[in-house]
Amino acid sequence: MLSRREWIKEGLWSIPAFHYGLGTLLNRRISNEDDKVTSPPTRPFVVELPIPPVAQAIQKLDPAPDPAAHQRYSEFPPRVFYEIHQKEAKHSFHPDLPENLTWGFDGIFPGPTFHARYGEPIIARFYNDLPANHVGFGIPETSTHLHNAHTASESDGFPTDFFFSGQCKDNHYPNIYAGGDPREALGTLWYHDHRVDFTTQNVYKGLVGFYLLFDELDSGHEEDWNPGLGLPSGDFDVPLAFADKAFTPDGQVFFDAFNFDGILGDKFTVNGVIQPFFKVARRKYRFRLLDAGPSRFYQFFLSKDEPGKTSELFTLIANDGNLLPAPLAVQSVELGVANRMDVIIDFSNYKIGDQLFLENRLEQTSGRGPTGKIPIGDAILRFDVDRDAADHSRIPSKLRELPPINLSEVVTERRWVFERSQGAWAVNGKFFNVNEIRANPEQGTAEIWTLKNGGGGWSHPIHIHMEEFQILTRNGEPPAPHEVSRKDVVNLGPGDEVRIFIRFRDWVGRYPTHCHNTVHEDHAMMFRWDVTGRNGENPPSPRVFGTRILP
């Protein structure tokens, strides 16, 4: 693999990607001989944590959606409609830095938070209003993936189903339980761009948002009259998107397009701002933690009075956004890219005037992944206890029962090795090829997949679209208590081997599996697999489903 300097020396700046991804790098000046950017200094905890607004539904879409473009549309006709516009806008990461031009859903980073409910199907129409003549990193071609919704392939945001500036596309989110089983309920989801080869750049640019899904059990209500779990809700249910960034000396977001290993920043943003503070009441809060990438792993601790001083207990209730069978008292949670962890922090244990810090103590110095060392880390978010408030929420002793693993459903086993090859990234020795179908599971069956880290000291958070899975073993042993759950991302540390049980229900069509260190994904660590109809029927052509792109 050529070094950055070799790319320049060989004149490869003239490739077509110059216009979209690389051109502005010519105007950047890196700050040391290791090709690492050192961002300008910023004061911690001077910006209040922003909370993304809730997405607002509209009466109808004009023109009306095309039922023929979606599987099972008549069974799950949409009851709620949204228009979301992807557009460029000015954004302030910190008052010590100048404003940046970012991309966002409805022009904000993170985008609006969907509040959806099971039994209320949605059509979300995504408009691409990005500048067609854009120069700089990112490409104004998008494919929105709702991670990890149980959706038909045409609405999944397949990486090559992208559309262009000036166009829009309808995604149908039926909000149904996989297999009709309420134990398969999803909770904390997120949506992001998934354009092939440019996922990292477009997400780094700001195309990220939350999608929260509720049902009768996880109802979004904590009042005594509600029969659900009574988890913290409303203003006390707070999504937190973590994304590290690098900035040039003049305060503009920097993206290293020649880094094929993993992008790390030296500034930590939460909901789009650097090291914010958040005023909290003396009561319980639910925080939905999301590692929005592109490459950093986190291990979050809660410390009182000053960073690194203590390791306070808090409660883990969900892994990858899905409720655990029972809550776990923990001192830390670890997130790979795209992992979600829902935690409850009870601030009633503290006094007004107390300050607590959410800090990342997991050392990571390169795109390879974390070193495993747990030093005194980076304080990323400060909680300021400043008032009392009524608290009707509770932490029940049981949350959501896991669906059973029925090994009699398994019809085959597959093995996938995620490895480095020729300076890029491969699965079973092959680079991503959209036209190559690597597996054909049949609808209504289950399989066992073995996910193996091919070595080299790298870490890979592996994401499988469409259906969640359960871990059978990690390195031959039963999973840790927090991994006894339903998951859509599994973290493979160096040398790890994880066996999972996965079903294929409800939908047919093509889906990807990939490393969610999106730099690895964009450099070919991804493969396509298709769910065929029962009895081996071919899935519908993407020309039939999902490619109606409105002008």
Whether 47 has a pLDDT exceeding 60, the answer reads yes
* 234-388 and 407-550, same CATH topology: yes
Whether 521 has a pLDDT exceeding 80, the answer reads yes
What is the CATH code for 13-214? 2.60.40.420
Query: Tokens 């992208």 label which residue?
Result: 162
Stated as kind and residue range, the H or E segment containing 8 is helix 4-9
pLDDT of the residue at 539: 64
Residue 226 pLDDT grade (very low, low, confident, very high; cuts 50, 70, 90): confident
Task: Please give the average per-residue pLDDT across 472-499, as a whole number.
Answer: 97
Whether 477 has a pLDDT exceeding 90, the answer reads yes
Q: Which of 316-325, 405-414, 503-512, 541-550 has the lowest mean pLDDT?
A: 541-550
Residue 541 pLDDT grade (very low, low, confident, very high; cuts 50, 70, 90): low
Query: Tokens 């690098």 label which residue?
Result: 246
pLDDT of the residue at 338: 98
pLDDT of the residue at 18: 36
pLDDT digit string (tens) for 125-181?
Answer: 999 999 999 999 999 999 999 998 999 999 999 999 999 999 999 999 999 999 999
Whether 508 has a pLDDT exceeding 70, the answer reads yes
Q: How far apart are CA 303 and CA 358, in angstroms?
A: 7
* Domain layout of the chain by residue ranges: 13-214, 234-388, 407-550
Whether 353 has a pLDDT exceeding 50, the answer reads yes
pLDDT digit string (tens) for 6-40?
Answer: 333 333 332 333 333 343 333 333 333 345 679 99
Number of H helices, E strands in the chain: 4, 34
Q: How far apart are CA 368 and CA 186, in angstroms?
A: 30
- Are the C-beta atoms of 468 and 439 separated by less than 8 Å? no
Residue 536 pLDDT grade (very low, low, confident, very high; cuts 50, 70, 90): low
Task: Assign domain 234-388 to a CATH class.
Answer: mainly beta
Query: Pairing between strand 486-487 and 509-515?
Result: unpaired
pLDDT digit string (tens) for 183-206?
Answer: 999 999 999 999 999 999 999 999
Q: Which two tokens stand for residue 522?
A: 């964009």
273 pairs with which residues across the strands? 270
pLDDT digit string (tens) for 370-407?
Answer: 998 888 789 999 999 999 999 999 999 999 999 999 99
pLDDT of the residue at 23: 36
Task: Please give the average per-residue pLDDT across 32-58, as a whole number.
Answer: 87
Mean pLDDT of the chain: 91
- Are the C-beta atoms of 153 and 543 separated by less than 8 Å? no
SS3 for 380-403 is: EEEEEEEEECCCCCCCCCCCCCCC
Task: Please give the average per-residue pLDDT across 533-546, as a whole number.
Answer: 64
Task: Please give the average per-residue pLDDT across 194-223, as a whole number.
Answer: 96
pLDDT digit string (tens) for 290-315?
Answer: 999 999 999 999 999 888 888 999 99
Whether 107 has a pLDDT exceeding 80, the answer reads yes
pLDDT of the residue at 542: 54
DSSP string, 50-102: P-PPBP--BS--SSPP-GGGSTTTTTS---EEEEEEEEEEEE-S-TTS--EEE
pLDDT of the residue at 540: 64
Q: What is the CATH architecture assignment of 407-550?
A: Sandwich (2.60)
